[in-house]
């Protein structure tokens, strides 16, 4: 039976490249694992990747820095809005201090009977650090964060919707979500393993206007689920189309993983991703060298000098 093994990655449109690196590497202590470019369109845009120690599926955050191109997004309802990250449950006091010291405004909250810290990316995207127990994923410690506090990976995604019913139907029927819990204006479900970032939180939002779906600074573009194998991915696509959700793409090769994209009825763009069998992150760099060089897919290699000249320099 087709299935999803939790999350794979989350991709955002952010501001400047250096601002983004500073936030994810120097503030959150994540590992910088890849610098490449956006595959779609003709405008040169970086595609930057961050993760935990192992670059695990379910621990990868990727960004498109769009400030240089001048394209702005609008946060609103009917889109993914909240990046939920998993940190050790005893680490949140440490993180509150670390974020505050680095000029990040932090709010303490209890959501779904669990403590979390609320803060924002410099471009405005909403983040939450959720305290979790017994997470087997290993945080990155070479960024200055001790092992007992280091971020494990993704906890899940928060999607703002005008009404949650269609998204509950979609996630339970197409993504095999389970364990539905309601708290106030929030409906929480679980896709695959909790230890692999499978939380989906649907937030009822009838105040904001609909947010943008295109690329644009300050917005989440898509959230990717781990389909594990190409055979399973193909079966999932077949099942989702059979339920009537036909706004779904053909297979796209993203070099490090292969992807199918589906627009959910709540507006959020979801991806079914399979890490490339021929090496994944290490197909062009050794595990120790991840993120050290500017990597390009073959179709862009003859434009390397042009792209380097046009893109913002980054100090990692």
- Distance separating alpha carbons of residues 70 and 66, to the nearest angstrom: 6
Which residues make Cβ contacts (< 8 Å) with residue 289, sequence separation at least 6? none
Average pLDDT estimate for 172-200:
95
Q: Where are the domains of the chain?
A: 7-310
Average pLDDT estimate for 183-199:
94
- Cα 296 to the center of its chain, rounded Å: 21
Is the pLDDT reported for residue 1 higher than 80?
A: no
If one looks up domain 7-310 in CATH, what number appears?
Answer: 3.10.180.10
Of the ranges 37-41, 47-51, 267-271, which one carries the lowest mean pLDDT score? 37-41
CA torsion sign for 71, 75, 81, 82 is: positive
Predicted pLDDT at 193 = 86
- Distance separating alpha carbons of residues 62 and 7, to the nearest angstrom: 13
Is the pLDDT reported for residue 55 higher than 70?
A: yes
Predicted pLDDT at 50 = 98
- Across the chain, what does the average pLDDT equal? 95
Judging by DSSP bridges, how do beta strands 114-120 and 126-132 pair with one another? antiparallel
Q: pLDDT tens digits, residue range 96-149?
A: 999 999 999 999 999 999 999 999 999 999 999 999 998 999 999 998 999 999
For the chain, what is the largest distance between any 2 Cα atoms, rounded to a whole number of angstroms? Answer: 54
How many C-beta atoms lie closer than 10 Å to residue 109's C-beta?
A: 11
Per-residue confidence band for 8, with pLDDT thresholds at 50, 70 and 90: very high
Query: Please, what's the b/e burial string for 63-87 (b: 16 or more CB within 10 A of its CB; e: otherwise)?
Result: bbbbbbbebbbbbbbbbbbbbbbbb
Closest alpha carbon to 312 in 6, 11, 18: 18
């Amino acid at each position: 039976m087709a299935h999803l093994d939790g999350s794979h990655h989350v991709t955002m449109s952010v501001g400047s490249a250096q601002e983004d690196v500073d936030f994810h590497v120097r503030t959150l202590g994540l590992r910088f694992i890849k610098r490449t470019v956006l595959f779609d369109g003709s405008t040169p845009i970086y595609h930057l990747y961050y993760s935990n120690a192992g670059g695990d599926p379910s621990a990868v955050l990727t960004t498109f820095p769009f400030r240089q191109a001048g394209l702005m997004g609008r946060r609103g309802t009917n889109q993914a809005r909240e990046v939920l990250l998993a940190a050790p449950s005893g680490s949140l006091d440490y993180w509150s201090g670390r974020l505050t010291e680095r000029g990040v405004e932090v709010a303490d909250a209890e959501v779904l009977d669990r403590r979390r810290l609320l803060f924002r990316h410099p471009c405005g995207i909403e983040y939450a650090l959720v305290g979790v127990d017994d997470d087997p994923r290993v945080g990155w410690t070479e960024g200055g964060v001790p092992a007992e506090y280091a971020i494990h990976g993704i906890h899940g995604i928060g999607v703002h919707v005008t009404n949650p019913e269609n998204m509950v139907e979609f996630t339970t029927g197409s993504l095999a979500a389970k364990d539905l819990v309601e708290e106030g204006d929030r409906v929480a479900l679980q896709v695959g393993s909790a230890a692999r970032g499978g939380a989906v939180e649907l937030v009822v939002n009838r105040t904001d206007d609909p947010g943008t779906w295109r690329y644009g600074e300050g917005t989440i573009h898509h959230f990717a689920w781990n389909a594990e194998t190409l055979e399973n991915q193909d079966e999932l696509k077949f099942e989702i189309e059979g339920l009537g959700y036909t706004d779904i793409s053909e297979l796209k090769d993203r070099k490090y993983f292969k992807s199918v994209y589906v627009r959910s009825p709540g507006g959020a763009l979801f991806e079914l991703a399979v890490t490339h069998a021929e090496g994944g992150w290490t197909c062009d760099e050794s595990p120790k060298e991840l993120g050290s060089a500017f990597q390009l897919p073959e179709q862009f290699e003859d434009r390397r000098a042009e792209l380097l000249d046009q893109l913002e320099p980054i100090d990692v």
